[in-house]
Structure 1
Amino acid sequence: MDLRRWTHVVAVADRRSFVRAAEEVHLSQPALTRSIQAAEAELGLLLFDRRGSEIMPTPAGEFVIARARQLVFNSRCLERDVALYRSHNLGDTAFGVGPLPATTFLPGLLAGLRSEFPGIKLRVEVSNWQLLLKRLREEDIEFFVADTSDLPADPGLHQRPLRRELGGIFVRAGHPLGAARTVTMQQLWEYGLLSIRLPSRVRGELARQVGLASEAELRLALECDDAELLTKTALHCDSVLLTAHAAVAEQVKAGRLLPLEVRSLPALYAQTGIVMLRGRTPSPMAELIISRLPAGQ
């Protein structure tokens, strides 16, 4: 069976409708229906149940569609890479980063790429891992780099660990708690905690420290995917900032932010990693970027 027909099978599986799938593959509905019927006849299997309001894959269809999807996916990757090879360039790419990588190692990496390859076009999405995972599955980005602590186990994903980003608690210079040698989490909580979306491991520990029954009860004063915005907020009020040391190293060195020692608080860290779709061949530019990411420690 040729690749074009596999593409038709995947389109019907995704759209759950012959009408919508026909629009996607630029065929008339009768032509698409004939293509699916020919595929079923060639395979000797019924791929779709047509009885309901939506076209649903049969058990045999689920088995075939998973493999057809990989064939179509690999074909697109091959077409892209051949085009890049013909034009003798690395090509463009789109990828995602979590809030902490966006403020720690990403700026230097992007500056280096822009200096070395001024003609490239990059698109970078900065968000939490949940939204980045959705973009990855939609094939809107090639990979993402984020805290993978809560990433679900999925055989369709390939993960590679990077370095741990050590975290800490910080307040502005002149903060009422700034002169204390050690503080408790209850003391900090009264001023309001600012943070990116935290992994369950950290949320659970914070909830325990402030006397809550579970992490579900934990409500931060400000939770935001923009780590730089959180830092600027902490510099101009008495709220307490929880972030990576690397994200505020310059502010601490300049004396604008002060690190606090919190009594009985275990070490805080984010486990960053690269996440890709399993079986996907990265574009040349994506491979180059991945090779320059900080290795695990």
Structure 2
Amino acid sequence: MNTRQLRHLLAVIETGSVSAAADRVHLSQPALSRSLRALEDELRAPLFDRLDRRLVPTPFAQAYLARARRIVFEEAEGARELSLMHSGRAGSLALGMGSALARGLLGRLLVELMAGAPGLRLRTLIETTDRLLDALRNETLDFFVGDVRAADTDSDLQVEPLYTCRFGWFARQGHPLEGRRALTIADVLRHSLIAPGFIGPEDERRFLRRYGLTGSMLDRFTLQCADGGTVSQVMLATDAVMPAIELTMLEELRAGSVIALDVQPVLDAELVLGIVQRAGRTLAPAAARAFDFVRQYLVGLEAEAASAGGAAR
């Protein structure tokens, strides 16, 4: 038995004749009759009585009618679901990114994915890179957007680098250090420092070497906070200074509420943003839509940063 035979059964029941049903399903009358006999043989039950040149459903056909309709409906819905998935408008997708990137990208990406896609189910995770990696390896994430350097030596992961971030020092507009050239680390350390999120051991060592400092870098920070909105609020209300990647302050730079300070030497830390996913894993087609959007966003960051003044190189 197959759904094609069930469609033939439904056509005869709904039209009341073999000729009309044959026209509906685009078969000859003999071919349709053969299909019905094969279905009767498989079900081991007579499905129609011939009365006055009409086919009248038997009690067996009436009993099976609701199930036949449900099977045909479910097949059609299954095909529709796969079609929607192929178009990126259905399925499920779990994605992650760090808080600094999420501030400008995540909402826009979700709006793009949800537009015209009521069957798509999305789940997000905002975390540090090490935790995003754990979630990806544990298959609770399909992909994340973040620092690809953390995964570029893992053969189980596939990385696509897209944007090399510039680092700089940032403060509010009207800060006492605004407009001064060639600031030293001593000038900066006279003010409170903000660390916008997790700082790894290698980044800490690079920072200390760059500025000839000793001891613990983290002990020099008044505030460590991964929430971009909170960091911005504190910066705009205090004389705190923050070393960070430019995209962390991109919106404020564009609005002119935050400035990039000319601190020498410039920060030489590296951060390469891109897409990280499990190698060889098939994702819902909606992931392709997400990847295209992320690529366009990250590629455009360079131009956005330049138009906003960028960070001091």
TM-score, normalised to structure 2, is 0.60
Task: Give unmatched runs, 5+ long, in structure 1.
Answer: 1-80
Partner of 2:136: 136
Q: How does 1:237-248 map to 2 (within 5 A)?
A: 237-248=238-249
Specify the alignment match of 1:155 in structure 2: 155
Shift of 1:130: 0.8
Secondary structure, aligned partner of 1:154: coil
Aligned to 1:60: none
Q: Which amino acid aligns with 2:82?
A: Y
1-structure distance, mates of 2:133, 2:266: 30
Q: Confirm or deny: 8 A CA contact 2:207 2:267 kept in the other structure.
A: no
Identity %: 27
What letter matches 2:169 in structure 1?
I
Indicate how the Cα distance of structure 1 residues 293 and 255 shifts in structure 2: closer, same or farther if over 3 A, else same: closer
Partner of 1:61: none
Q: What is the one-letter code of the residue matched to 1:283?
A: A
Is there any run of 5+ residues in structure 2 with no aligned partner, and where? 1-77, 300-313
> For the Cα contact (< 8 Å) 1:164–1:270, is it kept in 2?
yes
Give the CA RMSD over aligned residues. Answer: 2.9
| Residue aligning to 1:251 | 252
- Does the 8 Å contact 1:186/1:210 carry over to 2? no
Render the CA deviation track for 1:48-93: whole Å, top value 9, x for unaligned: xxxxxxxxxxxxxxxxxxxxxxxxxxxxxxxxx9995176543121
Could you tell me how far 1:125 is from its partner in structure 2? 0.7
Residue equivalent to 2:235: 234
Change (3 A) 1:93 1:173: same
1:25 aligned residue: none
Q: CA deviation at 1:124?
A: 1.2
Do the aligned partners of 2:169 and 2:260 also contact (CA within 8 Å) in 1? yes
In the TM superposition, 1:277-288 aligns within 5 A as 277-288=278-289
How many residues end up aligned between the 2 structures?
216
1:150/1:200 contact within 8 Å kept: no
Q: CA deviation at 1:262?
A: 0.6
User: Does structure 2 conserve the Cα–Cα contact (< 8 Å) formed by 1:231 and 1:241?
Assistant: no
8 Å CA contact retained: 1:182, 1:261:
yes
**Alignment-mate amino acid for residue 208 of structure 1:** R
Q: Give 1:210 shift.
A: 4.0
Is 1:265 equivalent to 2:266 in the alignment?
yes
Instruction: Give me the whole-angstrom Cα distance separating, in 2, the residues matched to 1:90 and 1:119.
Output: 4
Which residue, 82, 100, 103 being the options, matches 1:85? Answer: 82
Quote the residue 1:54 is aligned against.
Answer: none
Q: Which residue of 2 aligns with 1:225?
A: 226
The separation in 2 between residues aligned to 1:191 and 1:292, in whole angstroms, is: 39
Match of 2:207 in 1: 206
Letter in 1 for 2:232: T
Q: Which residue of 2 aligns with 1:112?
A: 112
Moved more, 126-135 or 99-108: 99-108
Letter in 2 for 1:85: L
CA contact (8 A) 2:145 2:275 kept: yes
Deviations 1:158-190 (A, max 9, x none): 211121232321111232222422311232233
- Equivalent residue of 2:94, what SS? strand
